[in-house]
Amino acid sequence: MGWGPIGRKGDENLRRRREEDERSAERLPALLAEVAAAERALAAAQGAGAGAEELNRLGTALDAALTAAMRAAYAEERLLVGARGYTDRIYRRKRLARPDVRAATERAELLLTARETHRLHGVQRVPRRPAGV
């Protein structure tokens, strides 16, 4: 398997992380569909003039969908780098230059940028209510 001289406990930890990444990366297409659906729902609500609470709820749902998709995209990137990339920094850097890995990195970074932009400008703030009311 090529996990390196880390020892039994380290091998098990790396194996667990890789399995988590595999499960997460498998979900990426479904998560991207959730992002698209959440974007459509938010745009429709904005077009219909929905209230602040509804826009906040839909904006928060889009943020959660973007976060899950971004994490899955980075998991896919780690899988494309390979098992040795979890422990060998130089090997990881070399593998990040491959075209298929670069495409996965670009997708993950686009999702990260979209999430951060949405957090800054897309989540409707809900006015606070006074404590005595």
Which residue is listed with tokens 């790396």?
14
Q: In this predicted structure, what is the pLDDT of residue 113?
A: 97
Q: Which of 57, 72, 55, 68 is CA-nearest to residue 21? A: 72
Pair 14, 86: CB distance under 8 Å: yes
Task: Estimate to the nearest angstrom the gap between the alpha carbon of 44 and the chain centroid.
Answer: 24
Q: What is the Cα–Cα distance from 35 to 59, expressed in whole angstroms?
A: 11
Q: Give the global pTM.
A: 0.84
Per-residue pLDDT of the chain (133 residues; tens, 9 = 90+): 444 454 556 688 899 999 999 999 999 999 999 999 999 999 999 999 988 889 999 999 999 999 999 999 999 999 999 999 999 999 999 999 999 999 999 999 999 999 999 999 988 887 777 766 5
Q: Is residue 131 helix, strand or coil?
A: coil
Buried b or exposed e, range 34-62, using 16+ CB within 10 angstroms? bbeebbeebeebeeeebeeebbebbbeeb
Q: How far apart are the C-alpha atoms of 71 and 34, rounded to whole Å? A: 14
